Copies of this chain bind each other. A is one copy, B any other.
Amino acid sequence: MPTDLRRPQRTYTIRQLCLEFKCTPRALRFYEDKGLLTPARDGMNRVYSYKDRARLKLILQGKRVGLSLAEIGEILDLYDLDDGGAAQMAKSLRKFKERIVALESQREDIDRAIQELQVGCNNLEQKLIATRPDLLPRAADYDQMLRQRLDGLEHVAAK
């Protein structure tokens, strides 16, 4: 019977959590500095409880959707002293909806930028066709680009 790594009574070292969630010890200490985590201690060493792990999970989820650590902190603060989680849920709901609005606005900015760039690309291609078609990117160059990007990804993955 393999040990369940997520038993509620389990504890974790800083490295274990870092491995599990692919982050660095520095990051966890930083979150602690900001009051987002408050692990127990065994002597000097940090001991993370199952609850700490859950909080970390929320922190990383928040980061993925673009919340700042400060905003995540506001939500997390309600986790402890809460009427059964309702206030925290209400605050989360507000924050989430705000974030959705902001993200949709960002997406509009991006779409506008892409449009502007595509207009620019078309203009440039027309002019290059007329003057220096030899400078136009060709299919071979495009393959080259793709290969470079894949190499980049492998490189990152290898680290």
Contact = CB atoms under 8 A, between A and B. Distances in A.
User: Which are the 3 A-B pairs with shortest beta-carbon distances?
Assistant: A86-B132, A90-B135, A65-B113
Interface of A: 61, 64-66, 83-87, 89-90, 92-94, 96-97, 99-100, 103-104, 106-107, 110-111, 113-114, 116-118, 120-121, 124-125, 127-128, 131-132, 135-137
Given A87-B135, A110-B107, A100 B116 contact: no
| This chain's copy number in the assembly | 2
A70 to B, nearest CB: 18
B66 A113 contact: yes
Given A93-B125, A94-B137, A137-B93, A114 B120 contact: no
A93 B124 contact: yes
A149 to B, nearest CB: 9
